[in-house]
Amino acid sequence: MTKTILSTLALMALLIFSYLYTKKQTDFNAFTLPLQTSKGTLKLEDLKKGKLTLMYFGFLSCPDACPTTLSTVGSSLKELTPEELGKLNFLFVDLDPERDSLQKLKEYAEYFHPLITAVSIPLKDLEHFTRYFGIVFMKVPLKNSRMGYTIDHSTGILVMNEEGKLLPHIEHGTNKTVMIVTIRKLLSEIK
């Protein structure tokens, strides 16, 4: 009998908690969240106006996936006209705020292309922000590694139109030629 009461109570507590948890989540607004950059904060709701916004999520000690993608992005952006670049935002959202400083992120991002803006978001908001966009990331401890931990993460480039609507990702491994064509096509659809 006591067991039944206890398990009922536990179930109720669980329901209340999950309700509060989801409620808290729905209060979160990715578009009004202040995003920290080296030039101050910006918000997606201002950024998206009249522009195509691309976002890539990564971290500084990422030795392979991040520099490979950003290198392709950088060389693709170099092929675009100033007019085309004027209709485009590219954000590099950091997934390792515990280790990466904004200054280093800025240097890193601009090395690939000056248009790429490094963005830092505190961990508590970052979890909501990534979840909103369907981006997965996970801190994974590494045994016997000087790295201590790594970050497993989604590698697609997120695409958002001027209305804040999400479009299909640009997949990881997309080559330069395809990336240029894809970005040009997306830009031509921006009103």
Partner 1 sequence: MKKFLVLLILILSTTNISAAEIELKKAVIRLPPPGSTTTAMFIDISNKGTKDRTLIKARGAVSDDFELHEMAMAGGKMSMRNTDKILLQKGSVTSLKPGGLHIMIFNLKRPLKEKEAVDITLEFDGQEKIQTKAIVTKDL
**Among positions 52, 55, 129, 169, the unique one binding partner 1 when judged by CB under 8 A:** 169
Among 87, 128, 172, 184, binds partner 1 (CB under 8 A): 172
The pattern of x and - marking residues 126 through 165 that bind partner 1 according to CB under 8 A reads: ----------x---x-xxxxxx--x-xxxxx---------
Query: Rounded to the nearest 5 degrees, what angle is found at the Cα of 63, between the Cα atoms of 59 and 66?
Result: 50
CA 155 to CA 147: how far, in whole Å? 20
- DSSP letters for 7-52: HHHHHHHHHHHHHHHHHHHHH--TTTSPEEETTEEE-HHHHTTTSE
> Cα 11 to chain center, whole Å?
35
* Residue of 42, 43, 51, 67 interacting with partner 1 (CB under 8 A): 67
**Of 111, 166, 181, 189, which one interacts with partner 1 (CB under 8 A)?**
111
Positions touching partner 1 (CB under 8 A) are: 60-65, 67-68, 70-71, 75, 103-108, 111-112, 136, 140, 142-147, 150, 152-156, 169, 171-173
